[in-house]
């Protein structure tokens, strides 16, 4: 088992990474709890809930199961989970465990952050994408106007990443998670970038995957430790998300996965960076890798005006002025404000390029 320590503003917590470590949950917890609520979704519950609850002894263990998918990051689920916590009699010394992907982690984390003004929580990520979402303390639910508009910064006391659970992950979700690894690679690790560019996701073995996940977590950790509340440097982790989040909300939460939307946003950000800074960041190679791995990139029926409106709701925007993370060179992110008219023409030419690339 490997571990990475994260130094948050409030406390330091470990991220444990290893095969089958879900069975060691009890012994890895820093203290014992009288009452524990495991929050998970209905897919993950069928696969791993028993393993986790059976590994906890000496506590009253309760479970709350939300429907799988992005639509559960809602005010309705949030309220329902609070109601269940109240019904089970959780108090300030209780623990919430988030067992699942980023959806469970984000909503359960936000419940933990707000239940009785905050109780301990542990992240037990089960997706590739959740190497990103379980670290750094962003917890949130969506609003129909935009992603993660209601939330907080609230760090878990521990992350237990049992990479054996990834064996059951569908290819679509593997793809989704690798979009965030690609993002991290462009931001800070060119070697990782070329490693992943070599990868056929259908033949990816777990040994290689663990190496990629650990590198991604380390990049995230280095960033959030310097700027947890996103006053500056942390905004770089949003590379690809300005357009990505707009696409996700515009197509309807759950129509495409978060990572699939980020992949399109990342390709766009790389394309714009190449134009702004007259450099070659290999957008063409990224496009080839994305199409070889069957990322959905067809934006034919997406309304650009609607996307622009949504991009103004992005948390990096100030006074409705859109800010984007770009790369002025490889591994050198910058945050720049882009005029609406310039952005519109960039999106138009990007969508045209996608059509053109597809045509060949």
Ligand X SMILES: O=C(O)C(=O)C[C@@H](O)[C@H](O)[C@H](O)COP(=O)(O)O
Residues in contact with ligand X by CB under 6 A are: 132, 136, 138, 147-148, 180, 230, 234, 237-238, 241, 315
Cα(304)–Cα(340) distance, integer angstroms: 11
DSSP summary character for residue 46? I
According to the annotation, is 147 in a ligand binding site? yes
Q: Which residue is nearest to ligand NAD (CB)?
A: 102
Residue 165 CB, nearest approach to ligand NAD (Å): 4
Residue 238 partner contact from ligand NAD, ligand X, none using kind-dependent CB cut-offs of 5 to 8 Å: ligand X
Paired residues of 125 in beta bridges: 100
Q: Are 237 and 188 in contact (CB under 8 A)?
A: no
According to the annotation, is 258 in a ligand binding site? yes
According to the annotation, is 318 in a ligand binding site? no
Q: Are 244 and 251 in contact (CB under 8 A)?
A: no
According to the annotation, is 82 in a ligand binding site? no
**C-beta of 63 vs 127, nearer to ligand X:** 127
Comparing CA positions, the residue from 149, 139, 133 lying closest to residue 108 is 139
Residue 228 partner contact from ligand NAD, ligand X, none using kind-dependent CB cut-offs of 5 to 8 Å: none
Residue 217 partner contact from ligand X, ligand NAD, none using kind-dependent CB cut-offs of 5 to 8 Å: none
**C-beta of 333 vs 347, nearer to ligand X:** 333
Residue 40 CB, nearest approach to ligand NAD (Å): 8
E-only strand ranges, 249-331? 322-329
Residue 88 CB, nearest approach to ligand NAD (Å): 23
**C-beta of 56 vs 65, nearer to ligand NAD:** 65
Angstrom distances, CA of residue 147 to CA of 25, 70, 74, 173, 353: 31, 10, 10, 19, 27
According to the annotation, is 102 in a ligand binding site? yes
Residue 48 CB, nearest approach to ligand NAD (Å): 7
β-strands 138-143, 60-66 pairing: unpaired
According to the annotation, is 180 in a ligand binding site? yes
- Interface with ligand NAD (CB under 6 A): 41, 43-44, 47, 68-70, 73, 100-104, 106, 126-127, 129-130, 132-133, 136, 138, 147-148, 165-166, 168-169, 173, 176, 257-259
Please give the structure tokens belonging to residue 223.
Answer: 């960033």
Residue 234 partner contact from ligand NAD, ligand X, none using kind-dependent CB cut-offs of 5 to 8 Å: ligand X
Q: Which residue is nearest to ligand X (CB)?
A: 148
Comparing CA positions, the residue from 345, 204, 172, 198 lying closest to residue 275 is 345
Paired residues of 6 in beta bridges: 13
Cα(247)–Cα(110) distance, integer angstroms: 24
According to the annotation, is 103 in a ligand binding site? yes
DSSP summary character for residue 97? E
Residue 150 CB, nearest approach to ligand X (Å): 10
According to the annotation, is 309 in a ligand binding site? no
DSSP summary character for residue 121? E
Cα(119)–Cα(113) distance, integer angstroms: 6
Residue 241 partner contact from ligand X, ligand NAD, none using kind-dependent CB cut-offs of 5 to 8 Å: ligand X
Comparing CA positions, the residue from 337, 305, 342 lying closest to residue 322 is 337
According to the annotation, is 288 in a ligand binding site? no
For residue 276, the surrounding DSSP H or E stretch is: helix 258-277
Comparing CA positions, the residue from 219, 213, 217 lying closest to residue 188 is 219
**C-beta of 62 vs 73, nearer to ligand X:** 73
Cα(13)–Cα(30) distance, integer angstroms: 10
Q: What residues form the annotated binding site for Zn(2+)? A: 180, 241, 258
Please give the annotated binding residues for NAD(+), written as ranges: 102-106, 126-127, 138, 147, 165-168
Binding residues: 102-106, 126-127, 138, 147, 165-168, 180, 241, 258
């Amino acid at each position: 088992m490997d571990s990475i320590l994260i130094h948050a503003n409030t406390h330091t917590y470990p991220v444990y990474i290893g095969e089958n470590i879900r069975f060691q949950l009890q012994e890895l917890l820093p203290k014992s709890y009288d009452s524990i609520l495991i929050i998970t979704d209905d897919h993950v519950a069928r696969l791993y809930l028993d393993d986790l609850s059976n590994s906890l002894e000496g506590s009253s263990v309760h479970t709350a199961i939300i429907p799988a998918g992005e639509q559960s990051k809602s005010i309705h689920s949030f309220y329902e989970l609070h109601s269940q916590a109240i019904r089970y009699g959780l108090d300030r010394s209780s623990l919430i465990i988030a067992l699942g992907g980023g959806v469970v982690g984000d909503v359960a984390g936000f419940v933990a952050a707000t239940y009785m003004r905050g109780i301990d929580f542990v992240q037990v990520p089960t997706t590739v994408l959740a190497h990103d979402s379980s670290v750094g303390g962003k917890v949130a639910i969506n609003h129909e106007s935009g992603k993660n508009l209601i939330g907080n910064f609230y760090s878990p006391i521990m992350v237990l990443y049992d990479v054996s659970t990834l064996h059951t992950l569908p290819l679509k979700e593997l793809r989704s998670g690798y979009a965030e690894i690609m993002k991290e690679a462009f931001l800070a690790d060119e070697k990782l970038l070329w490693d992943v560019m070599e990868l056929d996701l259908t033949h990816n073995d777990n040994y290689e995957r663990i190496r990629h996940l650990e590198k991604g977590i380390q990049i995230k950790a280095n960033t959030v430790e310097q700027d947890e509340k996103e006053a500056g440097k942390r905004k770089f982790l949003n590379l690809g998300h300005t357009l990505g989040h707009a696409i996700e909300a515009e197509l309807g939460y759950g129509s495409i996965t978060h990572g699939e939307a980020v992949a399109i946003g990342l390709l766009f950000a790389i394309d714009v960076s190449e134009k702004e800074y007259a450099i070659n960041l290999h957008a063409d190679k990224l496009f080839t890798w994305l199409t070889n791995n069957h990322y959905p990139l067809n934006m034919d029926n997406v309304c650009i005006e609607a996307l622009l409106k949504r991009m103004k709701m992005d948390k990096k925007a100030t006074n409705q002025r859109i800010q984007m993370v770009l790369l002025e060179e490889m591994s050198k992110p910058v945050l720049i404000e882009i005029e609406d008219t310039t952005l519109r023409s960039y999106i138009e030419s990007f969508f045209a390029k996608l059509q053109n690339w597809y045509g060949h």
